[in-house]
Amino acid sequence: MDWSVVVMGCLLVLLGFGGRRWGQAKIRKGASPRQGVRMYLFLLLIGLGMIVGKSPHLVGAPFAVVMTADSLSLVLVVAAALVLVVSAKRQVGSGPSAE
């Protein structure tokens, strides 16, 4: 069960990198450069948080390493939440004006 979390984190990281690559290809074809960028960053940060949070415990690392990895995982998840909030604010702010 624990390895499935690491595998899911790896899939999210790959999805984030693949989405970023796909977005860059769309920009070359003339799309807006800001369209959807933060969602790929969100997936990347969540995936990294999952990998960093579970991997040290699974390989039997010392307690200090596991606690450091847990703290880093928390920082990554908070950063992902901030990215999501900023993205949602910009999405709402870029809608049609109600004047």
Note whether residue 98 is domain-resident. Answer: no
Greatest CA span in the chain, whole angstroms?
60
Note whether residue 99 is domain-resident. Answer: no
CA dihedral of 86, 88, 91, 97, whole degrees rounded to 10: -100
Note whether residue 81 is domain-resident. Answer: yes
How many folded domains does the chain comprise? 1
User: What is the spatial distance between Cα 48 and Cα 76, in angstroms, rounded to a whole number?
Assistant: 7
User: SS3 breakdown of the chain: % helix, strand, coil, rounded to 5?
Assistant: 80, 0, 20
Contact by Cβ (8 Å): 23, 37: yes
| pLDDT 10s digits, 27-72 | 777 766 665 566 788 899 999 999 999 999 999 999 999 999 999 9
The pLDDT value recorded for residue 37 is 62
Quick one: tokens of 27? 């920009």
Note whether residue 79 is domain-resident. Answer: yes
Backbone dihedral angles phi then psi of residue 31, each to the nearest 5 degrees: -80, 170
Domain that holds residue 83: 2-93
Note whether residue 10 is domain-resident. Answer: yes
- This prediction's pTM: 0.79
Between 59 and 22, where is the model more confident? 59
User: What is the spatial distance between Cα 66 and Cα 32, in angstroms, rounded to a whole number?
Assistant: 41
Beta strands in the chain (DSSP E): none
